[in-house]
Amino acid sequence: MTEPILQTRGLSRDFGPFRAVDDLSLTIQKGSITGLIGPNGAGKSTCFNLLTGMLAPTAGQIMLNGQDVTRQRPDQLFSAGLGRTFQIPRPFSRMSVLENVMLAPLNQTGERIVGPFLRRARVHDEEARIRARALEVLDFVTLAPLADHPAGQISGGQMKLLELARVLMGDPELILLDEPAAGVNPTLTGILIGKIEELNRQGKTFVIIEHDMDFVMQHCDPVIALAEGRKVFEGTAAQAQADPVLLDAYLGAMAHG
């Protein structure tokens, strides 16, 4: 029995007179790895920005686990179990890999109002807890040996793994990945895919924007295609591969895009 984790109804976003996302109704099933594809400018990143509260929709509704979360802020959505990575990671480059991961968690006691004496003890405990958790997720994404390196000096692929580590600090149920394989060498892509599949087996749901069609066909099911802000295809990877209209209009456009 499948159950939706995320749904949108009539989601739209205008930039001036231009409609980047147009009346989009999506259902993401719990436990799936959904691929979101479409040519450049189709509205995929705008869609992620809407889903994660970074942009307000012009119209429509977003439901997370049956709750209306339309217009919630990114931090509220992160607390509610929705994490995302960016197409181009921007870590704090002079801080270490470990420090970058430690910055991710929310609800740190130090920021709340408690007595100074109690606060010092709690902050100390909490920092130790956060550090231990950060080391654990770094180990999971295979970056533990680079924990003390400046984040600006690791490779593009390692930055993608760092992004995943930051997201995992919040232990989200649903993870949106924006082009995880772009610019990443095959070895690190292989590691990343292995981690995504391991997390998926543990019950996490993924939505992945990816231009690499081999990646999508091998690892995503279902596949949703957007073009000009609208959903133009939804089906299995095999159906996507066999759909002549999709192949011609969208996969072809992407291959040349």
Ligand X SMILES: Nc1ncnc2c1ncn2[C@@H]1O[C@H](COP(=O)(O)OP(=O)(O)OP(=O)(O)O)[C@@H](O)[C@H]1O
What does the binding site for ligand X look like in residue numbers (CB under 6 A)? 15, 20, 38, 40-46
Least Å from the CB of residue 175 to ligand X: 17
**Sign of the alpha-carbon torsion through 67, 9, 178, 222:** positive
Q: Please check whether residue 24 is in contact with residue 230, taking contact to mean a CB–CB distance below 8 angstroms.
A: yes
Radius of gyration from C-alpha coordinates of the chain: 19
| Contacts with 32 (C-beta within 8 Å, 6 or more apart), sequence order | 2, 205, 206, 221, 222
Least Å from the CB of residue 214 to ligand X: 17
Pairing of strands 33-37, 223-227: parallel
Q: Compute the distance between CA of residue 248 and CA of residue 254 in angstroms, rounded to an integer.
A: 10
Least Å from the CB of residue 199 to ligand X: 23
Least Å from the CB of residue 216 to ligand X: 13
Q: Compute the distance between CA of residue 150 and CA of residue 212 in angstroms, rounded to an integer.
A: 29
Q: Helix (H, G, I), strand (E, B), or coil: what is residue 161?
A: helix
Residue 150 sits at the vertex; the CA angle it makes with 119 and 155, to the nearest 5 degrees, is 130
Least Å from the CB of residue 46 to ligand X: 3
Burial 128-149 (b: 16+ CB within 10 A, else e): eebeebbeebbebbbbbebbee
Smaller CB separation from ligand X, 20 or 143: 20
Least Å from the CB of residue 41 to ligand X: 4
